[in-house]
């Protein structure tokens, strides 16, 4: 349906949920990582940066790859 492997689709959904939580100031990056099913905050940060072009910390501060800061 999407052209993505099921694991990739699930990871994308989890990362988009993480972005929502960061926008809502849910907690620290580590807390968001664990809340969205990532057991390793460093791996979460790596995946998040690949998906959104910025680290979760920068995203939480309002910085976006497309210049939104």
Query: Residue 18 carries which DSSP code?
Result: H
Return d(Cα 67, Cα 7) in angstroms, integer: 29
Query: Predicted confidence band at 1 (pLDDT cuts at 50, 70, 90)?
Result: low
Return d(Cα 50, Cα 30) in angstroms, integer: 17
What is the residue range of 51's domain? 6-60
Over residues 47-61, the mean pLDDT reads 97
Return d(Cα 30, Cα 27) in angstroms, integer: 8
CATH number at residue 55: 1.10.10.60
In a domain, 69, yes or no: no
Nearest to 53, CA basis, from 42, 65, 36? 65
In a domain, 43, yes or no: yes
Over residues 24-42, the mean pLDDT reads 97
Q: How many degrees, rounded to 5, is the angle at CA 68 between CA 50 and CA 26?
A: 70
Mean pLDDT, the chain, as a whole number? 92
In a domain, 65, yes or no: no
- Name the domain count of the chain: 1
In a domain, 1, yes or no: no
In a domain, 67, yes or no: no
Confidence (pLDDT) at 4? 83
Q: What percent of the chain has pLDDT over 90?
A: 86
């Amino acid at each position: 349906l999407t052209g993505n492997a099921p694991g990739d689709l699930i990871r994308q959904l989890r990362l988009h949920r993480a972005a929502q939580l960061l926008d809502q100031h849910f907690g620290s990056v580590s807390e968001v990582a664990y809340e969205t099913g990532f057991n390793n905050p460093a791996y979460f940060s790596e995946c998040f940066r690949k998906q959104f072009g910025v680290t979760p910390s920068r995203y939480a501060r309002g910085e976006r790859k497309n210049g939104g800061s």
